Amino acid sequence: MSLFAIGDTHLSFSCNKPMDVFKGWDNYVERLEKQWRAVVSEKDTVVVAGDISWAMKIEDAIKDFSFLESLPGEKIILKGNHDYWWQTKKKLDEFLEKNNFKTIKILFNNAYKVDDFVICGSRGWFYDAETDADMKVLNREAGRLQLSFDFADEYEGEKIAFLHYPPLMQSQSCKEIIDVLKRNKIKRCYYGHLHAQSVNLAFNGEYEGIKFSLISSDFLGFCPKLIEKF
């Protein structure tokens, strides 16, 4: 069994938002499926770090979820900035049950035990938030991340953090999120959101004792990244 991660699948089976118009995203769905099936088995787990679907309403995301459901492994998904269909965990769980999506789990103010590891996370927010409105959202997201870590305390094992927004870039960091990670003694944090030329600004390496890695799908060549092999 193995743990993988990837972000920003940007599926659009039910709406006209093809990512193929962007450089490097040609035939991305076919590439994602091919590479996913090449490395992920039914016994594996894949964390999908936000921007799952372009759907505006949860009912419109059924085809996108059906695609994810058809792929091997268990999927743990968290919210991205484009996941406008996102609702409360209770409503999302009801949606999954109603549509018989058995391999997809929602990461939202909670955590999941996967072998000797505990999967935690939150959407996060802009690392350079300055306005009162942005700071309000940032503090809320830092609180949600802490809730996830608190939930994880009932399990034994290393807590691994997953975010959608980058908690730091090459020249700037988000103190509020970094402080939560440090307070909970997190050793590894994976994030998405960055595409095209912005990936050159991503921080991949160790900072304040934490190893950070970008996992946006185009950065990974649409192939889930191996986190741990059990």
Q: Which band of pLDDT confidence, cut at 50, 70 and 90, is reported for residue 88?
A: very high
Given a cut of 80, whether residue 17 has pLDDT beyond it is no
CATH number of the CATH domain containing 17: 3.60.21.10
Beta strands, E only, the chain: 2-6, 45-49, 74-78, 104-106, 112-114, 117-122, 158-163, 188-191, 205-207, 210-214, 225-229
In the chain, the percentage of residues whose pLDDT exceeds 70 is: 100
How high is the pLDDT of residue 159?
Answer: 98
**pLDDT at site 95:** 97
**Structural domain of residue 26, as residue ranges?**
2-229
What total number of domains does the chain contain? 1
**Model pLDDT, residue 19:** 78
| pTM for this model (two decimals) | 0.96
Average pLDDT over residues 123-149: 90
User: What pLDDT, on the 0 to 100 scale, is given for residue 132?
Assistant: 86
Produce one character per residue of 10-33: b if its CB has 16 or more CB atoms within 10 Å, e if not: bbbbbbeeebeeeeebeebbebbe
